[in-house]
Structure 1
């Protein structure tokens, strides 16, 4: 039996060998295919997790931006309202009206009445206008805090907030002068707050998205070096000073960088208000309180102010300088940090303008922020945010609250109402009240909500968040580049690059001629978006 079996194997050894080879090859092929499928599944899962982490971190960053703006806005609002105290001017007009009545009752019946040359309104017009200001703005004489008689700061604040030192008391102003001051103050204050809110929104997006990108890379490098075995974290480990977190920066770096928002809230708005006030005086200066305006006329006047502030021609818009309103000159950085409380102002070296105390990481963040602010993309998105803010003020609050126009969806029902003219004081009363609404830090702020609904704002944020990450890694630690490339190349790099390309495409489409025609101040249709993208991305996409 055994010998027969041996003879059978000897006769069939070739077919048996071939069969075993086929079975072995099939097994190896099967294992290879299964391995490839598992690898592909792991890569897909890793990419999906990386994209989800990136998306969640980005969305969380934008929510943080919203709450940060609402937290910072009241500081600027308080400064602007104190500098342009429209309610105080209204109180003085009411006081003058009351004293005029008392004087008239105490004089002889044959006495000469007050000269109309001292005021732009008749007595009847004055009653109706002041009554309108009192009823529509909701401000009564008993609700206004009057500064002490010996305090000259109130007068200086009414003229634009430029007087930072005590000045001698000014002579008593006539009713015409008070109405002119009221007109300029109410319009300038409302417009200044809209510009401040738009700039603060964009500046906060730049700051938090730059820090968010660095924090994300910090988590990626921690995962690559094995110090974080739990995956890419959604938290900011700003208090972790280990080398793995050098990309995200330490707590001191982040605090110093974020402290630069102090400049716009306390200094930058002053220069911005001066530019806006100059434009308002030039456009609205010739109007008297007895003037009547239609909705179309006021819209055109507001548009003229915007063109003078932002630039009327393409070249002027390109040269519009917003950087001085947002960041201080380099020689004043230490002084600003000391005033904001970050540096110890008690040390003489802390505020030495000739010796910058900013570490290299802060300087790099400030330089990249400056490049973004000076890029054409920033000017384009800022124009769209201003369009949204002025649309709420002019097309909603004034159109429906003053001119009693129907909502846009019902505009065709009553087209004749667009020709209705109202007295200028009614418009000023709404602007006075809306200034407090624009600068409100409560949730929701409808002006901020309208600005955040601009699609290009999120696209711009995605550009900031997703771009320049390769140079960030190379500059931070060249030795970790190989490991970081392995991690980023498999998951995060693909997601961040896709996010950047999608954001750039969205911005590129929005700069088309069709979309630009909807803007109150047009954006240059012929400018090359690629140059703006290269500047915003820093060549690191």
Structure 2
């Protein structure tokens, strides 16, 4: 029996070997497939977590941008309100009203008569019964009693105590130009500040995110090399190479001081010239339609931004947003940054210069102009089509029934003085740091989030500390750039960083549905 079994095994040993080989190969293949499937699942899970983390960081960054704008906007508002004192012109008009009353009535009657209100001043001077005091200016916003800025010294040969009084027509003309200029300048300032803040915080957010990714990806130091090192080689330090340095970030963010204190005032002069050209001949007593007011507003915008697409593309906003390199040290001092001699070259460090140069490139890009135009469209539409339409023209919110009635009756008219009242009051609302409806309207513009997403998620390759300006591949961050915003290797090599940004921006605009990031 045993001998027969041996003979049988000897005859089938080849078959047994083949079978064992097949089973072993099948087992190994199965284990390999299971391992690859497990790795794929783990990689997908890690990518999903990384993308969710990136999305959460981005969304938090945009909320920080909103709070930052609301926090620093009142500074620009205060500077513009001081530079364009419409309230002093109002005081002069009220003073002239009181003088006319003194000449026309007796002293006893004046004593028993209440001081002239804004509504009374407007009814007498502009002949507009709809120019109510609350629609012109809040009582708390009127400057204190004192010498009116409308007066001016007549001449060197005349007595210094005698001051030339502007006529009623001159005061109304000044109020017209000043109130419109102030409101329009605040709209421009709000839009520019929103974009500048988005660029700054998204650049820092992107760099800090990359710094954390690189830090996690870096291997831990060997035990024998673990020792205290007091040296800090600036650009050799990974965190500082990515701009994740507290002092550098503070200095970079403090550059917004320029827009809040200088840029907005320079922009105001440009807006004032455009408003004079367009609204200069308009009589405050004249009645115009809301459509006519919209056309005049559009003419002002064309003079400020450019009448054609090419003019808007070539319009330079950088001088209003950032100081020139030779003025950066001055801005840092004025904003409270420590720039004494012990602080080595605060404006020439590599990290600081990288941030400012990239910010300037973004501001000069066509994408910036495109988004700014959309933000201004939303801001001016909210002012003219919503606030002035409802408060000055008494037009209810647009609906199908309202539109049908307007087609039959025609567009209502209102005196220019009524619109000036709304311009004056809305200036305080535009520059408000709490419950700002204009900022909400601006942030509802979809292109703003697209622009912020492009800034946050593209240009990963320029953050490589070893970048020398030659051809290089994008830095591997361990997370894919959101679809539609990726910057391909071929694009980065063939077209360069700036062209790559424009391509990423074009892809973002091409997306019709879904969130950007």
Shorter-chain TM-score range: 0.7 to 0.9
- How far did residue 499 of structure 1 move? 3.4
> Within 2, Cα distance between the matches of 1:249 and 1:197?
28
State the match for 2:317 in structure 1.
322
- How far did residue 266 of structure 1 move? 0.5
The change in CA–CA distance for 1:460 and 1:313 in structure 2 (over 3 A counts) is same
Residues 87 and 143 in structure 2, CA contact (< 8 A), matched pair in contact too? no
Q: Per the alignment, in what secondary structure is the counterpart of residue 262 of structure 2?
A: helix
Structure 1 alignment gaps of length 5 or more? 108-120, 158-166, 229-240, 503-528
- How far did residue 473 of structure 1 move? 1.4
State the match for 2:381 in structure 1.
391
- How far did residue 468 of structure 1 move? 1.3
Q: Per the alignment, in what secondary structure is the counterpart of residue 101 of structure 2?
A: helix
The change in CA–CA distance for 1:310 and 1:471 in structure 2 (over 3 A counts) is same
Structure 2 alignment gaps of length 5 or more? 108-119, 153-159, 222-233, 489-494, 508-517
Q: Per the alignment, in what secondary structure is the counterpart of residue 358 of structure 1?
A: coil
Residues 403 and 421 in structure 1, CA contact (< 8 A), matched pair in contact too? yes
Q: Deviations over 1:314-366 (max 9, x none)?
A: 3322221111000111111101111111134xx47989xxx773311111111
State the match for 2:304 in structure 1.
309
The change in CA–CA distance for 1:207 and 1:466 in structure 2 (over 3 A counts) is same
> Within 2, Cα distance between the matches of 1:350 and 1:418?
67
Residues 204 and 249 in structure 2, CA contact (< 8 A), matched pair in contact too? yes
> Within 1, Cα distance between the matches of 2:79 and 2:297?
23
The change in CA–CA distance for 1:356 and 1:500 in structure 2 (over 3 A counts) is same
Task: Establish whether residue 332 from structure 1 lines up as the match of residue 327 from structure 2.
Answer: yes
> Within 2, Cα distance between the matches of 1:285 and 1:217?
53
Alignment of 1:203-352 (within 5 A): 203-226=196-219, 243-246=237-240, 247-344=242-339, 347=340
Q: TM-score, normalised by structure 1?
A: 0.78
Q: Per the alignment, in what secondary structure is the counterpart of residue 293 of structure 1?
A: strand
> Within 2, Cα distance between the matches of 1:123 and 1:83?
23
Residues 257 and 362 in structure 1, CA contact (< 8 A), matched pair in contact too? yes
Residues 334 and 350 in structure 1, CA contact (< 8 A), matched pair in contact too? no
> Within 1, Cα distance between the matches of 2:79 and 2:426?
16
> Within 2, Cα distance between the matches of 1:95 and 1:130?
19
Residues 243 and 351 in structure 2, CA contact (< 8 A), matched pair in contact too? no
State the match for 1:534 in structure 2.
500
Q: Deviations over 1:268-314 (max 9, x none)?
A: 00110000000001111111221111111111111100000001123
Q: Per the alignment, in what secondary structure is the counterpart of residue 414 of structure 2?
A: strand
Task: Establish whether residue 495 from structure 1 lines up as the match of residue 491 from structure 2.
Answer: no
Residues 125 and 168 in structure 2, CA contact (< 8 A), matched pair in contact too? no
- How far did residue 104 of structure 1 move? 2.0
- How far did residue 125 of structure 1 move? 4.2
- How far did residue 412 of structure 1 move? 2.2
State the match for 1:42 in structure 2.
42
> Within 2, Cα distance between the matches of 1:325 and 1:100?
44
Q: Per the alignment, in what secondary structure is the counterpart of residue 132 of structure 1?
A: coil
Structure 2 counterpart of 1:179, from 159, 172, 188? 172
> Within 2, Cα distance between the matches of 1:104 and 1:314?
57
Residues 292 and 423 in structure 1, CA contact (< 8 A), matched pair in contact too? yes
> Within 2, Cα distance between the matches of 1:155 and 1:210?
46
> Within 2, Cα distance between the matches of 1:249 and 1:124?
60
The change in CA–CA distance for 1:313 and 1:498 in structure 2 (over 3 A counts) is closer
The change in CA–CA distance for 1:130 and 1:177 in structure 2 (over 3 A counts) is farther
State the match for 2:360 in structure 1.
370
RMSD: 3.4
Q: Deviations over 1:241-282 (max 9, x none)?
A: 993423142101100110100000000001100000000011
Q: Per the alignment, in what secondary structure is the counterpart of residue 315 of structure 2?
A: coil
State the match for 1:426 in structure 2.
418
> Within 2, Cα distance between the matches of 1:122 and 1:147?
17
> Within 1, Cα distance between the matches of 2:172 and 2:45?
68
State the match for 1:145 in structure 2.
143
State the match for 2:349 in structure 1.
359
> Within 2, Cα distance between the matches of 1:423 and 1:430?
12
- How far did residue 496 of structure 1 move? 5.1
Q: Deviations over 1:56-87 (max 9, x none)?
A: 11111111111111111111111111211222
Q: Per the alignment, in what secondary structure is the counterpart of residue 404 of structure 2?
A: coil
Residues 183 and 427 in structure 2, CA contact (< 8 A), matched pair in contact too? yes
> Within 2, Cα distance between the matches of 1:156 and 1:450?
39
